[in-house]
Structure 1
Amino acid sequence: MASTESRFARMSRRAAITGAAMAAMALAACNGAKTAAEGDMAQGAPEGAKVTVYEYASVTCPHCALWQKNTWPAFKAKYVDTNKVRYVFRELPTPPVDAATAGFLVARCAGPDKYFDVVHQLMATQQEMITSTPRDWLLRTAQAAGLSEDQFNKCVTDKDAVAAMEKRVQFARSQGVTGTPAFYVNDVQVVSPGGEGASLADLSAAIDAALAK
């Protein structure tokens, strides 16, 4: 177990260092969230939909968790479940970057059919990251999704998976995204006052206008 945990720690430190380096990069001007990215996770309307809503978020971001709790249910019911829009979730780990990175790796290891369940569960239980340990929090979530502890250990130390995550983070940075949660309706960023993320009212205004074109 000690060797596995040490590998996890090394991978975590690598992820944290990489995240910090990317955050310090000179950011390119936003060249359109609509650009497809490898590894996009989506719900709702199929690819090529008239309107796509992009959310950049992190499982360790408190504001993302609040949006998930307070706005996602109504947004999902109004636009995703009805296939009015394609909703694309993009991973952008925030501090603690090692825990966020591992959380997204667990979501992907759980499989496409469980990905959003894992992401939503991690956001809903963020406090456990503080009251226990990040590893215990992640392991509990992984086991609830059907992964064994051995599968969990292999998942969060998978070099190829970490490298793929780094590419997704680099893509987000290249789009000019610097914080989470960040929302785009096609190419237009939607920003609401406060730190919780785009409100349903502001998202609806942008979505309905785009649908009407």
Structure 2
Amino acid sequence: MNALLRRTFIAAAAVTGALALAACNGNGGAAASAEGDMTLGNDNAAVTVVEYASVTCGHCAAWNETVWPEFKRKYVDTGKVKYVFREFPTAPAPVAAAGFLLARCAGEERYFEVVDAIFRSQADWQAGTNPRDSLLNIARSVGMNEQEFQRCVSDEDAIAAFEERTQAAIAAGVTGTPAFYVNGEAVQDSSMANLERVIDPLLAQQG
């Protein structure tokens, strides 16, 4: 772990001003933290689409708003594609890290709901809202109080797991977001039209 990356994760806790280090599921009713890759769709699909994204990435938020709904309807909800979402923090990295930690604490059932809400809150940040306030409001919307939120984003084990996921992305060659891979092959153009050009022939091969 290089020093810069370590400082990024330490700063994630500082975003909230939290000092406690207890697990986010250690206080009444909070969901068990989501672990590993976050996926949607058919695990046995012939096509796997991997997206590396950051909740602080404007291009990722735009894709989430303009392409994802149609992509999900056509490929994920129909079981044609297994969609894998992988976290990769971008500037401001401490906010990205805190956002992803929050999404994990919300649990598997609400992970994507929280990520979507954080993407949508980028407009509020640009209008002057403190990102911490946005994250806290999102935490409250999924049943967490401020104390639980603070514990969540300063959980040492969760931060260590996030470090590992980020290092795995770096080892895979990811340098920025969004980054898309279809069956392991990088796709530079993530427009719906181009994704269709890449995915549909693969599906056709399956008959």
Note if 1:128 corresponds to 2:128. no
The counterpart of 1:42, out of the listed 25, 39, 61, is 39
2:110 corresponds to which residue? 114
How many aligned residue pairs are there?
178
The 2-side partners of 1:10 and 1:146 are apart by 25
The counterpart of 2:48, out of the listed 23, 47, 52, is 52
Aligned residue identity for 1:40: D
Q: Which runs of 4+ in 1 moved over 4 A?
A: 13-16
2:101 corresponds to which residue? 105
For residues 132-155 of structure 1, the C-alpha deviation after alignment (integer angstroms, 9 at most, x for no partner) is 212111101111111111110000
The alignment partner of 1:177 has SS state of coil
The 2-side partners of 1:55 and 1:134 are apart by 23
The counterpart of 1:204, out of the listed 176, 189, 196, is 196
Cα 1:13–1:113, aligned 2, differ >3 Å: closer, same or farther?
closer
TM-score by length of 2: 0.81
Residues 142, 152 of structure 1: 8 Å contact kept: yes
1:161 corresponds to which residue? 158
1:26 corresponds to which residue? none
The 2-side partners of 1:210 and 1:173 are apart by 27
* Structure 1: 5+ residue stretches without partners: 1-8, 17-37, 193-197
Q: CA deviation at 1:13?
A: 5.8
Cα 1:96–1:186, aligned 2, differ >3 Å: closer, same or farther?
same
Note if 1:91 corresponds to 2:91. no
The 2-side partners of 1:40 and 1:128 are apart by 28
TM-score by length of 1: 0.79
2:27 corresponds to which residue? none
1:12 corresponds to which residue? 11
Residues 64, 180 of structure 1: 8 Å contact kept: yes
The 1-side partners of 2:98 and 2:193 are apart by 33
The counterpart of 1:68, out of the listed 57, 64, 69, is 64
Cα 1:76–1:110, aligned 2, differ >3 Å: closer, same or farther?
same
Residues 12, 154 of structure 2: 8 Å contact kept: no
Aligned residue identity for 1:162: I
Aligned residue identity for 1:12: A
Cα 1:111–1:13, aligned 2, differ >3 Å: closer, same or farther?
closer
Residues 15, 97 of structure 1: 8 Å contact kept: no
For residues 42-80 of structure 1, the C-alpha deviation after alignment (integer angstroms, 9 at most, x for no partner) is 00112x421100000000000000001110010000001
Residues 103, 122 of structure 1: 8 Å contact kept: yes
* Structure 2: 5+ residue stretches without partners: 1-7, 16-34
The alignment partner of 2:49 has SS state of strand
Question: What value does the CA root-mean-square deviation take over the aligned residues?
Answer: 1.9
1:6 corresponds to which residue? none
Identity, % of aligned positions: 53
Residues 57, 93 of structure 1: 8 Å contact kept: yes
